[in-house]
Amino acid sequence: MEIERKFVLEAPPDGLASHDSQHFEQGYLAIDPAGAEVRVRRKDGTVSVMTVKTGMGLVRGEEEWEIEPAHFDALWPLTGDRRVVKTRYFVPLDGDLVAEVDVYEGELDGLVTAEVEFPDEATALAFEAPAWMGRDVTEDKRYGNRVLAVDGIPA
């Protein structure tokens, strides 16, 4: 299970480029309106994974495994116009937590979000985000990457 909250930032926080980062290309092979999705992702142009997620909101099911680069290359064209490209920065927070700050590119240029994963629901619900993290959109389906990939930045 994945327990995380998501936030929309007004702008990237100061000093973001000084943190570790990864560049992601991800595309969706299947999207179910009830919350299930199947995606492929390439990290930093080298490591490829396939992910299946179920549910939406604070707690979701997630299974992920590495795939051969040739499999990614074969599946990527099948994602059509259901893609997200972003750079993810890993920003340490209090309590051994990490904010994964995503700076989007392409059609989603200008959008900046942050996700924080938690060990349990109680910790997630008690979390008080730093002011720079902006607005909590955990329950706003429009900010899920799968919806962003199809519909673009919410109006």
Q: Of 28, 89, 104, 143, which one is the catalytic site residue?
A: 28
Q: Which domains does the chain have, with CATH numbers?
A: 2-151 (2.40.320.10)
Tokens of 101: 């700050």
Q: Does 28 qualify as catalytic in the annotation?
A: yes
Q: What does each of the 155 residues of the chain score in pLDDT, given as a tens digit? A: 899 999 999 999 999 999 999 999 999 999 998 889 999 999 999 999 999 999 888 889 999 999 999 999 999 999 999 999 999 999 999 999 999 999 999 999 999 999 999 999 999 999 999 999 999 999 999 999 999 999 999 98
